[in-house]
């Protein structure tokens, strides 16, 4: 049947040459513009449930202010990851034969654009809380956070990229490569790696002196002490590598006695190397398991995938509980070696106050106990009443508003507009909106085939339509039914033959006017 072979030829380049240049680049720019604008507004909307008085430093005790700000700040942190992932997937699915970028390049562009946008909005939100925050300070925080995130996820992402979709030798090799990379990265350590890329530096004379005094009291000596130039007040330890770092925000806001008390806590972590090694090994296995889960799902479906995810969940819970016990042990270590337990309790409180972390969260699975409980555990009674937990309703609303906004924006842009313009599907403007929708390349090519008056051009576009790897049966058949009602039988008839070959069935509403036994006119095989 000559008409069938017509659609077995891939002529995407010929189809592209029929489109105006603006139509090739406009969808790309619109994808990235939508990622930027929607992400920015979503993060800005997250602050709506925050009480007005919480923005002022003079009207509330710091613990109440932290409690009031927590829902919006937590939603903002979640959106900084959720929005880029959503738009990476959207841009990945919108790429195809028309756009000049590959799927992976388009997905990466969507992620980067959204990531930059959510942090621009996050900076405005955070500066409203901390008027003195500068762009440089916030940028350093973002860079360090991104560095740590990439450091943690890189081995699993490498396995995901190399494993393929089948449980075979390639999958085993990918897992081994990921394991080797993870072991090499762990041997170096994330803090030293951060220092190597100049995100951290060696300790100054003041910090070295404080750490020396704390080490003499505890009998534990770190191999390396560093400073992270971040505005938040914090300190970190890596027990296996015996490394300790303080943020510049902590060093600027706290006196020597308070820094020494926190140093004793971090030195307590250095005494937990074996426990930390076990938790780190389990964490590595967890991330590699997630990275290699794609072929498990492809081969075994939900039957094999759900037990694997259940195992991952159990491991994550165990790791969190192990880390919480480590924090409690480090608190006891600081309490035993500090000269005045109240000084350690007040140093902890100052860190929470600077960072505006609620004194009580009530999360039993959190990696850190609540500040109020930590202070009481070292024999110190806080000077303020025990605060309530942050409002659960505000947390829900703070998350629901921006997520709903993202959903409605995507629905309006990618789904509703093409549906509203369905009656005008043969116009170039509608074709533009069709190509914006995920999986819409087949509709785009067909819409332009219907728009053109030249049989040869229509023929080329129809070939590209059925050659598309993304053609979706319901959407394509629905369009083809309308399309067949407005074009000559000479074009509709071979389209029907191609549909029959591709999907095994065709719509009959409009194809009935073109009997199959008629000889096609003007269509070459």
The pLDDT of residue 138 is 95
What mean pLDDT comes out for the span 64-85? 92
Q: Please list, residue by residue across 424-451, b when 16 or more beta carbons sit within 10 angstroms of its beta carbon and e when fewer do.
A: ebbeeebbbbbbbbbbbbbbbbbbbbbb
- Phi and psi at 400, nearest 5°, equal -70, -40
Q: Please tell me what DSSP assigns to residue 385.
A: P
Residue 6 pLDDT: 34
391: its two tokens: 């409002």
Task: For residue 202, give the H/E element and its range.
Answer: strand 201-202
Q: Residue 224's pLDDT is what? A: 93
The count of C-alpha atoms lying within 13 angstroms of the C-alpha of 411, restricted to the half-sphere facing its C-beta, is: 6
What pLDDT sits at residue 160?
A: 81
- Express each pLDDT in 422-462 by its tens digit: 444 445 444 555 555 444 455 555 555 555 556 566 666 66
Instruction: Kindly indicate the confidence band of residue 8, based on its pLDDT and cuts at 50, 70 and 90.
Output: very low
Average pLDDT over residues 224-247: 92
pLDDT, average across residues 338-345: 88
User: What is the CB-side half-sphere exposure of residue 105 using CA atoms within 13 A?
Assistant: 6
pLDDT band at 140; cut points 50, 70, 90:
very high
d(C-alpha 361, C-alpha 357), whole Å? 9
> Which span out of 21-35, 198-212, 309-323, 488-502 was modeled with the highest average pLDDT?
198-212
- Residue 204: pLDDT above 90? yes
Dump pLDDT digits (tens) for 242-289: 899 999 999 999 999 999 999 999 999 888 766 666 666 666 666 666
The confidence band for 311, taking pLDDT boundaries of 50, 70 and 90, is confident
pLDDT above 70 covers what percent of the chain? Answer: 67
The pLDDT score that the predictor gives to residue 30 is 77
pLDDT on residue 7: 36
Percent of the chain whose pLDDT exceeds 90: 32
Q: Which residue has the tokens 């969507």?
A: 110
Q: Report which DSSP code applies to 55.
A: G
Name which of 183-187, 264-268, 397-401 the model is least confident about: 183-187
pLDDT, tens digit, 9 for 90 and up, residues 100-133: 677 788 889 999 999 999 999 999 999 999 888 9
The pLDDT value recorded for residue 27 is 67
Q: What are phi and psi of 153, to 5 degrees?
A: -95, -15
Q: Which two tokens stand for residue 462?
A: 């129809």
pLDDT value of position 281: 67
* Poorest-pLDDT segment among 150-164, 219-233, 374-388: 150-164
pTM of the predicted structure, to 2 decimals: 0.76
What stretches of 338-440 show up as alpha helix (H) in DSSP? 341-355, 371-377, 392-410, 417-420, 428-436
């Amino acid at each position: 049947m000559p008409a069938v072979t017509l659609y077995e030829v891939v002529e995407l380049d010929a189809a592209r040459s029929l489109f105006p240049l603006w139509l090739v680049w406009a969808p790309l720019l619109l994808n990235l513009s939508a990622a930027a604008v929607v992400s920015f507004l979503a993060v800005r909307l997250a602050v709506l449930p925050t009480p007005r008085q919480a923005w002022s430093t003079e009207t509330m005790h710091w613990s109440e202010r932290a409690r009031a700000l927590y829902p919006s700040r937590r939603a903002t942190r979640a959106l900084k990851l959720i929005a880029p992932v959503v738009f990476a997937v959207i841009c990945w699915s919108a790429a195809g034969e028309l756009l000049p970028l590959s799927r992976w390049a388009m997905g990466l562009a969507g992620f980067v654009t959204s990531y930059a946008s959510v942090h621009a909005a996050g900076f405005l939100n955070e500066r409203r809380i901390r008027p003195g925050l500068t762009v440089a300070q916030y940028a350093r925080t973002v860079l360090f956070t991104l560095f740590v995130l990439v450091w943690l996820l890189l081995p699993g992402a490498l396995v995901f990229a190399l494993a393929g979709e089948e449980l075979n030798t390639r999958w085993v090799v990918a897992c081994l490569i990921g394991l080797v990379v993870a072991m090499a990265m762990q041997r170096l350590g994330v803090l030293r790696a951060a220092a190597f890329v100049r995100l951290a530096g060696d300790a100054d004379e003041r910090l070295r002196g404080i750490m020396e005094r704390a080490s003499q009291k505890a009998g534990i000596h770190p191999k390396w002490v560093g400073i992270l130039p971040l505005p938040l007040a914090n300190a970190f330890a890596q027990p296996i590598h015996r490394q300790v770092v303080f943020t510049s925000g902590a060093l600027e806001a706290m006196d020597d006695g308070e820094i020494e008390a926190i140093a004793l806590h971090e030195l307590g972590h250095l005494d937990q190397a074996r426990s930390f090694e076990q938790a780190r090994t389990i964490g590595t296995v967890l991330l590699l398991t997630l990275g290699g889960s794609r072929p498990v799902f492809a081969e075994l479906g939900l039957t094999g995938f759900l037990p694997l995810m259940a195992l991952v969940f159990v491991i994550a819970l165990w790791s969190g509980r192990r880390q919480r016990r480590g924090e409690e042990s480090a608190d006891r270590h600081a309490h035993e070696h500090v000269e005045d337990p109240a000084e350690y309790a007040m140093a902890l409180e100052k860190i929470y106050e600077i960072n505006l972390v609620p004194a009580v969260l009530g999360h039993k699975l959190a990696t850190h106990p609540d500040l109020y409980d930590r202070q009481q555990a070292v024999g110190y009674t806080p000077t303020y009443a025990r605060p309530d937990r942050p409002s659960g309703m505000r947390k829900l609303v703070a998350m629901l508003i921006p997520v709903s906004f993202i959903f409605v924006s995507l629905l309006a842009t990618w789904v509703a507009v093409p549906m509203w313009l369905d009656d005008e599907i043969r116009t170039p403007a509608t074709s533009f909106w069709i190509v914006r929708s995920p999986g819409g390349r087949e509709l785009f090519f067909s819409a332009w085939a219907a728009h053109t008056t030249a049989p040869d051009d229509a023929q080329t576009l129809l070939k590209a339509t059925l050659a598309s790897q993304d053609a979706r049966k319901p959407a394509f058949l629905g369009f083809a039914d309308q399309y067949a009602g407005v074009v000559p039988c000479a074009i509709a008839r071979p389209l029907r033959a191609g549909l029959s070959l591709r999907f095994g069935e065709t719509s009959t509403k409009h194809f009935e006017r073109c009997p199959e036994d008629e000889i096609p006119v003007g269509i070459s095989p």
